Each structure stands twice: as C-alpha cells, then as structure tokens.
Amino acid sequence: MNQNNKPSHIFDLLQQNVERYAQETCIFHKNLETKKWLSLTWKELWEKVLVLSRGLIALGLMPGDKVAIFSPTCYEWTLADLAILAAGGVTVPIYPSLTSEQIKYICEDSKVSIIFAAGKKELKLLPKTTHMKYIRFDRDGFFEASHYLDHIERLSETIPLEQISSRIAALKSSDDATYVYTSGTTGNQKGVVLTHGNILAEVEATKEIMNFGPNDIGLLSLPLPHVFARASQFYQLCVGAKTAYAESLEMLALNFREVKPHFTCVVPRMLEKIYERVNGQVNKKALWRRNAFHAAVEVAKEYTQQKQFHRPISFKLKSKKALADFFVFRQLRSLLGGNINTFISGGAPLAKELSLFFTAAGITVLEGYGLTETFAAVTVNRADDYRFGTVGKPMKGASLKIAEDGEILIKGPMVFSRYLHLEKETKEAFTDGWFKSGDIGELTKDGFLKITGRKKELIVTSGGKKIAPQRVEEALTTSKYIEMAMVYGDDHNYLVALLSLCHDEIVNYAGRHHIVWREYKDLIHNPEIQHLIQSEVEKANSTLAHFETIKRYEILGHVFSVESGDLTPTMKMKRYKIISKYKHILEALYEEQKRGA
C-alpha cells in the first residue's frame, strides 16, 4: 500500500485475499494423467509463488530482468507470472502458436534471460543460446541448462523469505510489469510496455463493474499471452473468485460440465461454436420441437429487448419467458454446467444476434472493447446497463473521444507507457496525450461506444487473433507463380485470399507440362494449374503460424492496377476498396465452408 493506504500493485490486493481466504479453494486444475480435478488453497498458491520467486532470485534474477513464459494456459502459467512479478521481474508472454522465428525475435528484442516452458515441444522451438536459462513445468529434460520446478524449489531455500517481501515492497506503480508483443501494420512485432499501474488500474476498473467473489468460479480457457485472459486472471485473484483452468479449447465443453463455472471470458468464435452446435442439434429434432425452440427464442428476445431499455414487462410476457426458460434454455445452460450466468466477450467484434440470443437464454453477454495497449478493456457493457450492438460505456478512469476522422482516442491509467525500443512509433501512437486506437467508432446519445470499422490494416479474426496481412501476403508472393495477394479475414475464424498469378510464369509452366489452352482465363482454372497454386499456398502456409495460414482462396484473372483503382500511384493496395469491390467473392469463400460443414 502507498502512504494514502491505496494499493500500488496487485500484490496489495492478492495478499489481502491470501489472509482472508487462506484455507479456501483458490484454483482448480486437472491432472492430465489421472483426469481428476485438483485444487489449491489461497495459502498453498501463495506459498508456491514465494518458493518460485525465491528460486528465480537464486538463478540470478534482478529487478527489471525479463522472463518469458511459453506455455498453453495452465495454473503453472499463473504461478510463473506471479513469481516473476513478485521478484521484481518483467513477464514476457509468448503465444504457443508462434513460429520459432517469431519467438526468437521476441526473446532477443526484450532481452529475455530466463524462459518458462511447458514441455519438450515448446523447448524445441525456443532459441538455443548459452546465456539463457530454461525452466520446465514437467520432468522430461531437453537442454542441459534446463531447470525443473522441483530443482527451483531446492534453489529457493538459499534465499531468505525477507528478500521477496523487500522486492514486493519496492515495487512502484510506474515500474514495468510486462512486455506484450502485438503485430504491427508492417508485420513486425511490437513490444507493448505495461506497468504495474496499468494492470492495477484495469483490475480496479473491472471490480467496479463485475460483482464476482469467493462463491463464484471463473473458467479460464483463453491463451494467457492475450491481455484479455491475463486481465481476467488478475481480476479473479484480486476479488477472491475461484479460477478453474480448462484443459484445452477442445475439452472446453466437457470442462464446462465438470467445473460448473458461473462466468468465463470468451472471444466471439467460442460463442459462434456453441450457437452452431445448438442449432445443429435443434435441426435434428422433430418439426414441432424445432418450432417450439424458435418460438421460445423469439419470446426470450422480446423480453430481453424490453429489459435492455428498462421498459415495463407485462405479466403475459413474463409468464411466457418463464416457460421458455424452464423448457428450453435450462437445457442449454445445463450443457455449460448449469451455473453459468455471464459471458464476458472481447478480443473481436461480436455479432449482435449472438449477444441477444445468449442473453435471452439467461446467460448475460457483456461485450467490451480494448487493446493490448490498454491492458484489455476500456469500455464494457454492464449487467444493468447495456446495449446490444455496442461495446458499452467507458470504465472507471478511462476517457474517450472521437477524432474528426472517426478514430477512437483513449486516455486513462490503463493506457500503456511506450513501445519497447520504438520511440518514433510511441510518439506516433499519441496525439496531445490521447492514444490513437486505430479503430473507427461513434458514441451513441446515451454514451455507448459502437465500433464501425478499423483504421489500421490489422486483421482481427473472430478468435481474437491479430494478424498483419502484409506478412501473409509476402509469404504467398515469394512464389514465382503468384504476383499479387490480398488477405482477408476480419471477424471470421480463418483467413482467405485473392490471388493474381504471374502471367508469364504460368504460361511457361503450361508449355513445359504440355498443357493445352486457348484463353488465359481458362488456363488458370486448369486442374494442373490449380494443383500447382495449391502446393504454392501450402508452402507459404508452412512458414506461418497456424492462425496466419490461408484456408481458401480465389484466383483472379487479372492483376490489381492503378487504372482499375485497386492500387495507389505508389503501387500500394487500396485494401478497403479491394474488399468492397470483391466482397461477394470473399464472403463466398466462407459460404463454401459453411455448406461443406
């Protein structure tokens, strides 16, 4: 606590909960071998954090040193994160889906000296340097320099407990806490520097809106390198809520039923999958049951729309809603454990229809908006103050305004301090002290923010992944047969592309392989040419992270040009004009997948 008895960092709040709930359950996690759920009390959690942080100091960690975590979401991730911060270090999260080249860049740019890794698969992707120390979550050795968690426990015995207490006491809100790497518009990853004050401001603002506590279980399944998941992790620890760690996204449906959570953070794609599953099951039912389901949905939507604007609800509508809830929606909630009452959605825009459907089904969807640079949300819908199709009102401490060009500008204690080693980019990210979000939006008359577009060229998928299209396009055009590529995927669960082929190379290939053709438009759709391009796309995909790969594409019979309005005079793509011009083709690529599903 500072001199005004106000918290300076999350440990001020966490330690209060350790004292208050010492013998109560804090964490649930599943043993992957026995398939049994295990638990840790608040006291046990804190003891493990103290042991691990002292072990890090024994390895030579000094305040300000950088430590990476390369692992899927698990309770050990949280232990490592807390231990790094308690020892005065800076946490550098690494997405499990990144390539070895991307990982190497992050480690070198941030000057990481210690890396936590989940297992052999992760260790193989890490840069092999003599100065780096590696800490394994399990017992299968890989590097001679590796340290196992039980070895760290032995090392910790050499460090007095008072040293950790001193380091925590020395933490200032202005100290760097974490470097989170996000894609830039050029494809280069940028390290977003976030302080202890940024993290605390987000937690405190969330506490003002969410009312979860010791009797609630939050299911954590999103990747912890994502600031949305990380903010949820800290929030749950600071309000005393229990945290259950999902095994994986593939096991999420089972984990819902086992854990019976009250709330969880989601990206839109997760809600899309649940919605698709529900509709798929309904469509298999008899006609009268399908009709009953759809009638129940309409009743619940009408009820929810009235409630949204605090309008009086008739006894008749209340009765219909109660029947719909008992006979229809109760079954849906039982598939999710039975206790679920809140989805907190972020990371990408959520379709209004999905938000309305789940809220009508008795699971309130609170959609928010934020960026890596704001350590998650700056606006969010409240349980008692929401509007479908918006991302809510500003959180405590956050200020918004809309620039003349429609860009959302943000101020507040959760806004980042700088981009690592990028002074020019940091300066360009602000105007008169306001952070330029790169997103276009508008404020409704009653103060709700609506996102209407993106000023940046970054693609944000429905799973919340941020992708620089230039990187993917460059991978595709390394092929001598592909002259131009335009990648698309905003608000969808995978990427598609428009390809323009290199005329001369395709013609030469046809000659070498004795392909008979008359017109070029027929040649590019020849099965052998189609197979050639497919193999070239697969080669490009092999150099990309899984979420960056192209799943479907359309071959155009021409190249983009200045004359057609697709390129600027300096030969840069007018991305938004191309998307508008070829929207029917791009969306058809997703419709093909839906029909094939």
Q: What is the pTM of this model?
A: 0.80
Rounded Cα gap, residues 242 and 224, in angstroms: 17
Same domain for 486 and 419:
no
- Name the token pair of 504: 């001369």
pLDDT at 106 over 60: yes
Most confident range (mean pLDDT) of 1-15, 308-322, 583-597 is: 308-322
**288: domain CATH number?**
3.40.50.12780
Give the CA angle between residues 364, 367, 368 to the nearest 5°: 145
- Name which of 147-161, 183-197, 281-295, 511-525 the model is least confident about: 183-197
State percent of the chain over pLDDT 90. 62
pLDDT in tens, 233-254: 999 999 999 999 999 888 999 9
As to burial, measured by CB atoms within 10 angstroms (0-12 exposed, 13-18 middle, 19+ buried), residue 72 is buried
- The DSSP bridge pattern shows strands 482-488 and 418-419 to be unpaired
Kindly state whether residue 182 falls inside one of the protein's structural domains. Answer: no
Range(s) of the domain holding residue 273: 269-459
Exposure pattern of 104-136 as b/e (b: 16+ CB <10 Å)?
bbbbebbebbbbbbbbeebbebbeeeeebbbbb
CB 424 within 8 A of CB 441: no
Average pLDDT over residues 458-480: 85
Average pLDDT over residues 166-172: 96
Residue 243's pLDDT is 98
Same domain for 565 and 512:
yes
pLDDT in tens, 534-570: 999 999 999 999 999 999 999 999 888 877 878 754 4
**509: domain CATH number?**
3.30.300.30
pLDDT in tens, 289-331: 888 888 998 998 899 988 888 899 999 999 999 999 998 899 8
Residue 534's pLDDT is 96
Residue 52's pLDDT is 94
pLDDT at 571 over 50: yes
Kindly state whether residue 132 falls inside one of the protein's structural domains. Answer: yes
Same domain for 502 and 358:
no
Same domain for 294 and 167:
no
Number of domains in the chain: 3
Average pLDDT over residues 576-595: 83
pLDDT at 17 over 80: yes
| Mean pLDDT, rounded, of the chain | 89
Same domain for 289 and 319:
yes
Q: What are phi and psi of 82, to 5 degrees?
A: -65, -40
3-state secondary structure of 10: helix
Contacts of 88 (CB under 8 A, 6+ apart): 61, 62, 63, 64, 65, 167, 170, 171, 175
Nearest to 256, CA basis, from 219, 290, 287: 219
Same domain for 482 and 559:
yes
pLDDT band at 272 (very low <50, low <70, confident <90, very high): confident
Kindly state whether residue 176 falls inside one of the protein's structural domains. Answer: no
pLDDT band at 1 (very low <50, low <70, confident <90, very high): low
Nearest to 205, CA basis, from 365, 342, 378, 382: 378
Kindly state whether residue 179 falls inside one of the protein's structural domains. Answer: no
- Name the token pair of 5: 């008895």
Residue 433's pLDDT is 95
Residue 130's pLDDT is 64
Same domain for 135 and 253:
yes
- Name which of 88-102, 131-145, 461-475, 537-551 the model is least confident about: 131-145
CB 59 within 8 A of CB 133: yes
Q: Any idea of the CA torsion for 394, 399, 402, 407, to the nearest 10 degrees? A: -90
Average pLDDT over residues 579-597: 79
pLDDT at 577 over 90: no
Same domain for 313 and 444:
yes
Neighbours of 530 (CB within 10 A): 12
Residue 143's pLDDT is 41
Strand order in the sheet with 342-345: 37-41, 25-30, 242-245, 217-220, 263-266, 342-345, 364-371, 376-380, 393-394
Residue 567's pLDDT is 77
pLDDT in tens, 335-389: 999 999 999 999 877 888 889 999 999 999 999 999 999 999 999 999 999 999 9
Rounded Cα gap, residues 206 and 263, in angstroms: 14
Residue 572's pLDDT is 66
Among 428, 459, 490, give the residue marking a domain's end.
459
Same domain for 279 and 242:
no
Side-chain-side CA neighbours of 73 within 13 Å: the count stands at 25
Instruction: Provide Rg for the chain, Cα atoms.
Output: 26
Q: Any idea of the CA torsion for 123, 124, 126, 129, to the nearest 10 degrees? A: 100
Same domain for 288 and 250:
no
Kindly state whether residue 178 falls inside one of the protein's structural domains. Answer: no
Kindly state whether residue 177 falls inside one of the protein's structural domains. Answer: no
Average pLDDT over residues 44-68: 95
pLDDT in tens, 126-162: 777 767 888 888 654 434 446 777 788 888 889 999 9
Among 407, 434, 459, give the residue marking a domain's end.
459
Same domain for 509 and 371:
no
State percent of the chain over pLDDT 70. 94
Kindly state whether residue 194 falls inside one of the protein's structural domains. Answer: no
Place of tokens 């809309």: 402
Q: What is the DSSP string of 403-420?
A: -TTSEEEEESTTS--EET
CB 360 within 8 A of CB 295: no
Average pLDDT over residues 114-137: 80
Same domain for 446 and 300:
yes
Q: What is the DSSP string of 90-116?
A: EEEEE-TTS-HHHHHHHHHHHTEEEEE
pLDDT band at 395 (very low <50, low <70, confident <90, very high): very high
Residue 70's pLDDT is 93
Residue 118's pLDDT is 85
Residue 416's pLDDT is 97
- Name the token pair of 154: 């032995």
Rounded Cα gap, residues 536 and 555, in angstroms: 13
